[in-house]
Amino acid sequence: MTVSRALAQLSAEGLVVTRPGAGAFRARPRTPAAPDGDTSWQEVALSADGAADLVPRTVDASGVTVCLAAPPPGVLEFNGGYLHPSLQPERAMAAALARAGRRPGAWERPPLEGLPELREWFARGIGGGVTAAEVLVAAGGQTALATALRALAPPGAPVLVESPTYPGMLALARAAGLRPVPVPVDPDGVRPELLADAFRASGARVFVCQPLFQNPTGAVLAPDRRAEVLRIARAAGAFVIEDDFVRRLVHTDAGPLPRPLAADDADGVVVHVGSLTKATSPSFRVGALAARGPVLERLRAIQVVDTFFVSRPLQEAALELVGSPAWPRHLRALSAELTARRTAMTTGLRLRLPELALPHVPSGGYHLWLRLPDGTDEAALTAAALRAGVALTPGRPYFSAEPPAPHVRLSFAAVSGTADISEGLRRLRTACDEVL
Ligand SMILES: Cc1ncc(COP(=O)(O)O)c(C=O)c1O
């Protein structure tokens, strides 16, 4: 394996050529590297055409890369947004991909909306009578959110967002020229009276909501608020984009889960976004959009124009994976492991870092949202933590306007286990002693 990988890499780098049956040979010397060019002209070119841009757009990837970037060696990853490799169903994914590659037609074009069986699987997962015909397979949640935002709001339009919320969605909205308007969230999810006020004040036609295990607070939209949110949006003539990103990351003490909002919506208010990545791997980029009514055609058109379709082998692999006996086993094991990690982190925090307030302990998802003492400099704490060997996510990027208080988000899924959680908290203690 190692030798064939090394040969493949050398071949990709142009250093060897392989001739089947004959062996591997040193390649002829490469042509000399091109002389250094001068790219400074691009600084002018990328900014000077602002006059043509009637609506200001800001493309800033920092809110996303903070969760995607690999930490420096030796640094514990309390900032990761995905499962540590030891929690990923690596063998089941490899087997699914191998079987997928052998399926008849695996490398043909898929139907543009996605494989019918996969659309059916996503529709069943939403429930409430949503049908396969109302589902589009998307390349993960991020792409689905981008499609939904672009389909529902023209550049320059306001879009209501929870406060705090996922920075990657704020980045998408800003890149599309939209104006995020924050609506506060408490431990029961978004506050309906403020949502109604925000619709009135802004005239927005879109609200982006995470009703289940919200990122970053972990809040679940309370039963009495679910119908309220749909009613308020309907009265405003607005869509609700439901980002249902961690439905499969449930802890063992969660009790029965509320259905997706889309399952309770007969009027086509909800555009539902789901994804497989959080329960598998960031590279398993398969997700879904579901919607009812004419908006479905708008979503379909934008998705086809932007991305054509999702790679067919990956769609086939998704079907193989979720249909295998390994899938429910993986979800059960994941649930137990996430619960153990959450308990290790909450217990460790109470013991060693009592000055960090934890207003809500979530029963799903992979992170905790901590309020720092008033006046704490988040950036200084994050920098001190990194020096001590643990990477955190500062709270500021989760707020689309002025934050009410300093916060940090700690993820317990991206480290290797409870020993690393304990060590990470010890390092965080060192950082807090320096900064607080
Ligand atoms: C709330 C939320 N929605 C969507 C996503 C996008 O995830 P993916 O594109 O991997 O499905 C993320 C990733 O961190 C997230 O936190």
358-388 pLDDT per residue, tens = 999 999 999 999 999 999 999 999 999 999 9
Torsion angle of the four alpha carbons 173, 179, 182, 183, in this order, in degrees rounded to the nearest 10: -90
- 295 occurs within a structural domain: yes
Same domain? 256 vs 331: no
> Which of ligand 1's atoms lies nearest the C-alpha of 64?
14
Least confident of 41-45, 212-216, 322-326: 41-45
Do both 399 and 255 map to the same domain? no
- Tell how far the Cα of 415 is from the centroid of ligand 1, in angstroms: 18
pLDDT > 70? residue 156: yes
Is 298 in the same domain as 354? no
Mutation to probe ligand 1, out of 65, 275, 314, 409 (largest number of atoms < 8 A from CB): 275
Specify the pLDDT at position 18: 81
Residue 49: per-residue pLDDT: 67
* pLDDT of residue 201 exceeding 90: yes
Determine whether the shortest distance from the Cβ of 118 to ligand 1 is under 6 A. Answer: no
**Position 59 confidence tier, pLDDT thresholds 50, 70, 90:** confident
List the structure tokens of 316. Answer: 């086939």
In this predicted structure, the answer to whether residue 52 has a pLDDT above a threshold of 70 is: no
pLDDT confidence band for 192 (50 / 70 / 90)? very high
Query: Looking up tokens 């309390």, which residue turns up?
Result: 78
Look at residue 37 and tell me if it is in a domain: no
The per-residue pLDDT of the chain, averaged, comes to 94
Instruction: Return the H-helix or E-strand segment holding 321.
Output: helix 312-322
What is the whole-number distance in angstroms between the Cα of residue 245 and the centre of ligand 1?
6
Q: Are residues 251 and 286 in the same domain?
A: yes
Query: Measured between alpha carbons, how far is 183 from 203 in angstroms, rounded to an integer?
Result: 14
- SS3 sequence of 162-230: EECCCHHHHHHHHHCCCEEEEEEEECCEECHHHHHHHHHHHCCCEEEECCCCCCCCCCCCCHHHHHHHH
Q: What pLDDT digit, counting tens, does each position of 159-168 carry? A: 999 999 999 9
Asked if residue 272 and residue 202 are part of one domain, the reply reads yes
- Cα 215 to averaged position of ligand 1 atoms, centre (Å): 9
CA-to-CA dists, residue 307 to 138, 140, 157, 282, 310, angstroms: 9, 12, 24, 18, 7
Report if residue 39 sits inside a domain.
no
Per DSSP, 418 falls in state H
Element (H, E) at 159: strand 158-163
pLDDT of 54 higher than 70: no
* Alpha carbons 114 and 105: distance in angstroms, whole number: 14
Chosen domain end from 295, 322, 349: 322
Residues 84 and 147 in one domain: no
Give the angle 87-91-96 at the CA atoms, nearest 5°. 120
Instruction: Tell me if 182 CB under 6 Å of ligand 1.
Output: no
Pairwise pLDDT comparison (92 vs 61), residue with the higher score: 92
Q: What percent of the chain is predicted at pLDDT more than 90?
A: 83
Contacts within 8 Å (CB) and 24+ apart, 329-333: 330/89, 330/92, 330/279, 331/248, 331/279
Domain assignment present for 50: no
Cβ(147) to ligand 1 under 6 A? Answer: no
Q: Strand, coil or helix: what is 90?
A: helix
Distance 199 CA to ligand 1 centre (A): 25
Q: Are 184 and 402 in contact (CB under 8 A)?
A: no
Q: Ligand 1 center to residue 246 CA distance, Å?
A: 9
pLDDT, residue 369, reads 98
What pLDDT is recorded for position 219?
98
**70 found inside a domain:** yes
Residue 69: the pLDDT is 76
Same domain for 354 and 235: no
* Cα 144 to averaged position of ligand 1 atoms, centre (Å): 10
Contacts of 401 (CB under 8 A, 6+ apart): 163, 182
Task: Let me know if residue 40 belongs to a domain.
Answer: no
Report the DSSP beta bridge partners of residue 212.
none
Would you call 385 helix, strand, or coil by DSSP?
A: helix
The CB of 167 under 6 Å from ligand 1? The reply is no
Note whether 137 and 97 are same-domain residues. Answer: yes
Among 289, 282, 272, 271, residue whose Cα is nearest residue 314: 282
Residue 162 bridge partners (DSSP): 183
Q: What is the pLDDT of residue 76?
A: 98
Same structural domain for residues 82 and 95?
A: no
The reported pLDDT for the residue numbered 30 is 67
Q: What confidence category does residue 273 fall into, taking pLDDT thresholds of 50, 70 and 90?
A: very high
Q: Which pLDDT value is given to residue 51?
A: 61
Domains identified in the chain, total number: 3
pLDDT in tens, 383-407: 999 999 999 999 999 999 999 999 9
Atom 4 of ligand 1: nearest residue by CA position? 141
- What confidence score (pLDDT) does residue 309 get? 97
Residues 333 and 234 reside in one and the same domain? no
Residue 344 lies in a domain: yes
Q: Give the residue from 258, 290, 322 where a domain finishes.
A: 322
Instruction: Give residue 435 CA to ligand 1 midpoint distance, Å.
Output: 31
Ligand 1 close to Cβ of residue 141 (< 6 A): yes
Residue 381 forms part of a structural domain:
yes
Distance from Cα 140 to the centre of ligand 1, integer Å: 8
- 313 shares its domain with 269: yes
For residue 142, which atom of ligand 1 is closest to its CA? 9
Q: Model confidence over 27-45: pLDDT tens digits?
A: 887 677 777 888 888 888 7
Domain limits for position 12: 1-27
What residue's CA is closest to ligand 1, atom 13?
81
Q: What CATH number should be reported for the domain holding residue 72? A: 3.90.1150.10
Q: Which of 70-74, 178-182, 295-299 has the lowest mean pLDDT?
A: 70-74
Ligand 1 centre to CA of 430 (Å) is 31
Strand pairing of 367-371 and 407-411?
A: antiparallel
CATH number at residue 170: 3.40.640.10
Q: Give me ligand 1 centre to Cα 154, in Å.
A: 23
Atom of ligand 1 nearest to the CA of 282: 10
Looking at 271, 297, 322, the residue that finishes a domain is 322
Q: Structure tokens of 150?
A: 């672009």
- Summarize the confidence of residues 205-222 as an average pLDDT: 98
Residue type, 88: Q
Query: pLDDT for 328-354, tens place per residue?
Result: 999 999 999 999 999 999 999 999 999
Same domain, yes or no: 136 and 282: yes
Q: Is 365 in the pocket of ligand 1 (CB under 6 A)?
A: no
243 lines ligand 1 (CB under 6 A): yes
The answer to whether the CB of 275 is under 6 A from ligand 1 is yes
